[in-house]
Structure 1
Amino acid sequence: MDKIDPQQTIFYSIEKAIKTYRQYAQKNLSARLPGITVDQLLILSLLEVNPEMAQKDLASWLFKDHASITRMIELLVKNEYLSRAVNPQDRRKFKLNISDKGHDTLQELKPIILNNRQDALAGISEKEIKELFITLNKIINNCQ
Structure 2
Amino acid sequence: MEKLNSIIFYNIDKAIRSYRNYAQRQLKANGFNITIDQWLIIKAILENPGITQSEIGDLVFKDNASVTRIIDLMVKSGFIIRHSHPEDRRKSNLEVTESGIKIIKEVQTLIESNRQLALKGISRKVLEIMNAALLTISDNCLNSKK
With the length of structure 1 as denominator, give the TM-score of the two structures.
0.91
Q: In structure 2, do the counterparts of structure 1 residues 33 and 45 end up closer, same or farther at CA, with 3 Å as the change threshold?
A: farther
Structure 1 residue 132 corresponds to structure 2 residue 130: yes
| Cα distance in 2 for residues equivalent to 1:131 and 1:18 | 17
Find 1:86's aligned residue among 84, 87, 91: 84
| Cα distance in 1 for residues equivalent to 2:65 and 2:46 | 22
Partner of 1:113: 111
| Cα distance in 2 for residues equivalent to 1:89 and 1:51 | 17
Q: In structure 2, do the counterparts of structure 1 residues 118 and 89 end up closer, same or farther at CA, with 3 Å as the change threshold?
A: farther
Query: Tell me, which stretches of 5 or more residues in structure 1 are unaligned?
Result: none
Please tell me the residue identity of whatever aligns with 1:16. Answer: K
Partner of 2:140: 142
| Cα distance in 1 for residues equivalent to 2:68 and 2:54 | 9
Please tell me the residue identity of whatever aligns with 1:29. Answer: L
Overall identity of the aligned pairs, in %? 40
| Cα distance in 2 for residues equivalent to 1:117 and 1:46 | 19
| Cα distance in 2 for residues equivalent to 1:50 and 1:34 | 24
| Cα distance in 2 for residues equivalent to 1:90 and 1:114 | 39
| Cα distance in 1 for residues equivalent to 2:28 and 2:128 | 30
Q: Tell me, what secondary structure is at the counterpart of 1:90? A: coil
Query: Tell me, which stretches of 5 or more residues in structure 2 are unaligned?
Result: none
Conserved? CA contact 2:27–2:33, under 8 Å: no
With the length of structure 2 as denominator, give the TM-score of the two structures.
0.90
The CA RMSD measured in Å over matched residues stands at: 1.4
Q: Tell me, what secondary structure is at the counterpart of 1:83? A: strand
Find 1:102's aligned residue among 86, 94, 100: 100
